A and B are shown apart, each in its own frame.
Chain A
Amino acid sequence: MSTKPAADPSVSADRVGRSEPRKDAGEKASGRAQFAGDINVPRMLHGKVLRSELPHAKIASIDTAAAAAMPGVVAVLTGPELDDLDPYWGHAIKDRPILAMDRVRFVGDPIAAVAAEDEATAEAALREIVVDYEELPVAGTIAEAIAEDAPLIHEGALRPGLFHGLGKLPEREGNVCYRYRLDAGSTELAEAEAELTVEGEYEFPAVYQYAMETHTVVADFGDGEVTLWASCQHPFLVRAEIADLFNLPIGRVRVIVPYLGGGFGSKSYTKMEPITAALSRKASRPVRIQNRVDESMVTTRRHGMRCRMTTTADRDGRLRSRSVRLWLDTGAYADNGPRVCATAGDAAPGPYRWEAVHVDASCVYSNTAPAGSYRAFGAVHLQWIGELQIDELARQAGLDPLEIRRRNLLRPGQPVRPDGTGKPLDADLVGDVEKAAAAVGWSEPKGEWTGRGVAVGLLAAGAHPVSSANVRMESDGTAEVNVGTTEMGQGARTVMAQIAAQELAIDTADVTVQGADTRFTPYDRSTGASRSTTLAGLAVQRAAADLRERLLATAADAWGTDRSELAVADGMVHGAGREASYSQLMAERFGFSGGELVGQGEVRPEQGSGSYAEGPVFWEICIAAAQVEVDPETGSVSVDRMATIADVGKAINPLLVERQDEGAVLQGVGNALFEEMVYADGELTNSNLLDYRVPRIDDMPEQMTGIIVENADGPGPYGAKGCGEGAQAATPAAVATALADAGVPMTQLPLTPERVWRRIQQLKEADTG
């Protein structure tokens, strides 16, 4: 094995920075990998959920007698039966009952659940349940929900959930459940003085994450304890919410997470676990609930948004002010809406120097499906708007889009938030965007109806910095990493294995990484916000280094030498003229061919409380460049070239970094060009994958360039920081700026052929009129 100097003189290895093969590739290729829906528990029943047919109604009565009497039906559960519990949950706001108590708030709101011997019987039983509704007025859009006379979707005071992480929650104002404001300087003054102004109103669609594995949970409620096998990204937060709901000690709730068939945020926080647990409790048997696609679409989605933005500059292109008013549609229950709202507010100014910024962001309840997390939330909503306005100012000032950014982008060390709070910039944005632009042939000649665009943004990443891990060495010298990170495709198990292998100077093949089982796995806050490599990875690095110290101490004791004379390399301890393999040292320590050594690692806030306002853990870089072509006859837009920047500090596994960003680009292309959940009168009209189109293989841009930037400027192991979301925020923005460069500035996503064609006609008329 070749070695190179590492930061710690006690170890020489080169496992990090290599594109090692995925640890899970064989299992996944051969179909052996287990997902929640593949798990069969003895005596397991199948659960189905009766969902509301109306967007807003009082429930006058529910008759379940016929369903309960059907052969094969074991349990039928309704909300009012849960009278021994406080049945409301929600990590941000406790606004959501396990099952409807007396009212439904969206089409799809769970009313009752049936457990039966097989799925077909459970489905048949749903049809026997009779619900008598009394319709209520509907607020199906943002405009309807914020109107003076809007029907109130929730009443009474907001009850904060366990993990909103946003300080003191403000009071509810009508249907506004959270509001984020940021003010620095006077935008009125700047707008009055500025020589150039651009303003506009914009719309961003609700979209569906479509993790191909739908939300799936197996729950086994026993005597004072419950075990869940769940397709969840955040097992420890689910555990806490379930414990809270069912009045159980945290340790009596066990969450086991197999492989996830995609997450992208759709499986963050709690989703189908409360219903499944409650149904198992009623049935006194294990129950599996596996959503259908139409059910997962109304379980969580991305927020739709309306936004007004004004940006000003002087004639020389010096940016002066930005003013933003936005409303996010969080649907019938808050889910992660407050955090999405704060992140959107945080992203709204964009990474520029301003003399004045005003942001006012509202998170609004409506009678539609709840909206929560989806890759790059908040940033993806705002970046395309802010960047379109920067480009328009560049056009007015007669500057190249790259030049206006060179003049105004924040530099490393400068405060990101205009009010000076939180973490300063930790990346070279100018260098990054120049690389992206070059990769799409920025200065090459281009034809009519072809445009190029760049987009630069920042995303508050890392969530709350609490992660722990342990690394166990077995008597044969192989190691096992216990870390709560959920493997949902991002390659976490491979990266964690590489980090442990690096610290122990062993082969990655000799490291095993398990999925989370909260009974045994050390606590980790969550898998999301691009935090795992940075925070859980740091915990693994510390745990492996701790284990290494124990091995070195074992050798020092055995050999009667000083620890400082010893180091590890090639799976051996060397020094003081001796060497021994780890298995030899284990045998030396225990006097027997058995035993284990465990190293512990912990990450927690280094200063302050680690709150959102003090954060983020790092700023994830959202930078892309695009070349698009539009067909003026049809309005059809094709993305021909895409380049993205993965500014990751240190790429633990470069190939996996590239692959993450390629996936983010295609999801971003879908969000930009065609994905949209279409609601009519509070009802989702395209709730299947024929009518809701996600990117297919022929939607792939002809040229996709992923550029990795490694400046070792991240807070994670070896200077790493997270990735995988930034490209998703930047892709729609780069596509939109490129389309504007082709002559078609748009104010609404997705950029469907019809919308683009109408805009072209409008511009032609304005030209000739």
Chain B
Amino acid sequence: MSDVAVTIAVNGRPRELVVPARELLLDSLRDRLGLTGAKRSCEVQVCGTCTVLVDGEPVSACTYLTCDADGRDVLTIEGFAATAEFAEFERAFTDRAALQCGFCTPGFLLTLKALRDAGELRDRNDVIAGLDGNICRCTGYKSIVEAAESLAGAPAP
């Protein structure tokens, strides 16, 4: 098993890692970089709780090889939470109690950010289609849809 040297811009900061070729991005983020906001759950790309953005696109970090992120930008919830834009997302969820246990919440927020950045968060249909890859077991989704609809439209300036 060979190790691979990679450079990944994690939350805007270049990180140089030497990892086994088979190492998953989720494990690198959680175990090597201490970024535990992305969670492990289904491990088959169904639940979305490990979602991070790679070059702005949502990916399931539980099935994404760290070496494939070489040279790319990775945004985790910790990085997103440090931006000014995040406050609007947090408020949308907090005001509507659109989170309960919170295990899935970072994945939903990052997916919504990617949708909005891509101009694909315009209305309720976009919300339902765009969040199809994120499971929440607590809320029954209604509050999440309401929160997401409040974020729909052009990105905040």
- Using a CB–CB cutoff of 8 Å, the interface residues on chain A facing chain B are 19, 21-22, 24-35, 37-38, 210-214, 259-264, 290, 292-293, 488-491, 655-656, 659, 662-667, 688-690, 694-698, 700, 704
Using A38-B30, A663-B140, A688-B42 as known contacts, list a sample of 10 further A-B pairs with CB atoms less than 8 Å apart, ordered by residue number in A.
A22-B97, A28-B102, A31-B38, A212-B39, A213-B41, A293-B42, A656-B97, A666-B140, A688-B44, A696-B132
Residues of A within 8 A of B81 (CB): 29-32
Q: Which listed residue, A37, A664, A698, touches B128 by the CB 8 Å rule?
A: A698
Asked if residues A666 and B77 are in contact (CB atoms below 8 Å), the reply is no
Asked if residues B94 and A212 are in contact (CB atoms below 8 Å), the reply is no
Q: Which listed residue, A32, A488, A489, A689, touches B46 by the CB 8 Å rule?
A: A689
Complex CA gap A380/B138 in Å reads 18
Q: Which listed residue, B37, B78, B102, B145, touches A700 by the CB 8 Å rule?
A: B145
Given A31-B76, A212-B135, A698-B128, decide whether A662 and B142 contact each other with a Cβ distance below 8 A.
yes
Residues of B within 8 A of A655 (CB): 96-97
Asked if residues B42 and A689 are in contact (CB atoms below 8 Å), the reply is yes
Residues of B within 8 A of A35 (CB): 39, 103
**Interchain residue pairs with CB less than 8 A apart (14):** A19-B97, A25-B99, A29-B90, A34-B36, A37-B36, A38-B30, A211-B101, A488-B101, A655-B97, A663-B139, A666-B140, A697-B127, A697-B145, A700-B142
Residues of B within 8 A of A214 (CB): 41
- The secondary-structure label for the interface of chain B is loop
Asked if residues A264 and B137 are in contact (CB atoms below 8 Å), the reply is yes
Q: Which listed residue, B90, B134, B141, touches A25 by the CB 8 Å rule?
A: B90
Asked if residues A491 and B77 are in contact (CB atoms below 8 Å), the reply is no
Asked if residues A293 and B41 are in contact (CB atoms below 8 Å), the reply is yes
Asked if residues B101 and A662 are in contact (CB atoms below 8 Å), the reply is no
Complex CA gap A656/B99 in Å reads 10
Residues of A within 8 A of B150 (CB): none
Residues of B within 8 A of A260 (CB): 101
Complex CA gap A695/B144 in Å reads 14
Q: Which listed residue, A37, A662, A690, touches B44 by the CB 8 Å rule?
A: A690
Chain B, range 104-157, C-beta contacts under 8 Å to A:
104-106, 109, 127-128, 131-132, 134-145
Of all chain B residues, the one with the shortest Cβ separation from A656 is B97
- The secondary-structure label for the interface of chain A is loop
Asked if residues A30 and B37 are in contact (CB atoms below 8 Å), the reply is yes
Of all chain A residues, the one with the shortest Cβ separation from B99 is A28
Asked if residues A262 and B42 are in contact (CB atoms below 8 Å), the reply is no
Asked if residues A697 and B141 are in contact (CB atoms below 8 Å), the reply is yes
Complex CA gap A696/B127 in Å reads 12
Tell me if B100 is interfacial: C-beta within 8 Å of chain A.
Answer: yes
Tell me if B60 is interfacial: C-beta within 8 Å of chain A.
Answer: no
Instruction: Give the tally of cross-chain contacts (CB within 8 A).
Output: 159
Asked if residues B90 and A30 are in contact (CB atoms below 8 Å), the reply is yes
Asked if residues B77 and A31 are in contact (CB atoms below 8 Å), the reply is yes
Residues of B within 8 A of A659 (CB): 97, 100, 139-140, 143
Of all chain A residues, the one with the shortest Cβ separation from B139 is A663
Of all chain A residues, the one with the shortest Cβ separation from B109 is A29
Given A25-B93, A663-B139, A700-B141, decide whether A37 and B39 contact each other with a Cβ distance below 8 A.
yes
Chain B contact patch, size range: 35 or more
Complex CA gap A148/B112 in Å reads 58
Of all chain A residues, the one with the shortest Cβ separation from B130 is A697
Tell me if B47 is interfacial: C-beta within 8 Å of chain A.
Answer: yes
Residues of A within 8 A of B99 (CB): 22, 25, 28-29
Residues of B within 8 A of A264 (CB): 137
Tell me if B64 is interfacial: C-beta within 8 Å of chain A.
Answer: no
Residue-wise, chain B 55-84 has the 8 Å CB interface mask toward A (1 for contact) of: 000000000000000000000111001000
Complex CA gap A689/B46 in Å reads 7
Complex CA gap A33/B89 in Å reads 17
Residues of B within 8 A of A488 (CB): 101
Q: How far is the CB of B1 from chain A (nearest CB, A)?
A: 9
Asked if residues A293 and B43 are in contact (CB atoms below 8 Å), the reply is yes
Q: Which listed residue, A25, A30, A665, A695, touches B78 by the CB 8 Å rule?
A: A30
The 6 A-B pairs with the shortest beta carbon distances in the complex, nearest first, are A31-B37, A28-B102, A489-B101, A261-B103, A489-B100, A662-B140
Q: How far is the CB of A328 from chain B (nearest CB, A)?
A: 23
Asked if residues B101 and A262 are in contact (CB atoms below 8 Å), the reply is yes
Q: How far is the CB of A724 from chain B (nearest CB, A)?
A: 10
Q: How far is the CB of B124 from chain A (nearest CB, A)?
A: 11
Given A31-B81, A212-B103, decide whether A491 and B140 contact each other with a Cβ distance below 8 A.
no
Given A26-B94, A35-B103, decide whether A262 and B137 contact each other with a Cβ distance below 8 A.
yes
Complex CA gap A734/B93 in Å reads 30
Complex CA gap A35/B30 in Å reads 13
Asked if residues A261 and B97 are in contact (CB atoms below 8 Å), the reply is no
Of all chain B residues, the one with the shortest Cβ separation from A669 is B140
Q: How far is the CB of B147 from chain A (nearest CB, A)?
A: 10
Complex CA gap A115/B6 in Å reads 29
Of all chain A residues, the one with the shortest Cβ separation from B35 is A31
Asked if residues A667 and B137 are in contact (CB atoms below 8 Å), the reply is yes
Q: How far is the CB of B98 from chain A (nearest CB, A)?
A: 8
Asked if residues B39 and A213 are in contact (CB atoms below 8 Å), the reply is yes
Residues of B within 8 A of A689 (CB): 42, 44, 46-47, 135
Residues of A within 8 A of B136 (CB): 697
Residues of A within 8 A of B144 (CB): 697
Residues of B within 8 A of A31 (CB): 35-38, 76-78, 81, 106
Residues of B within 8 A of A489 (CB): 100-102, 138
Given A31-B106, A662-B139, decide whether A697 and B100 contact each other with a Cβ distance below 8 A.
no
Residue-wise, chain B 22-33 has the 8 Å CB interface mask toward A (1 for contact) of: 000000001000
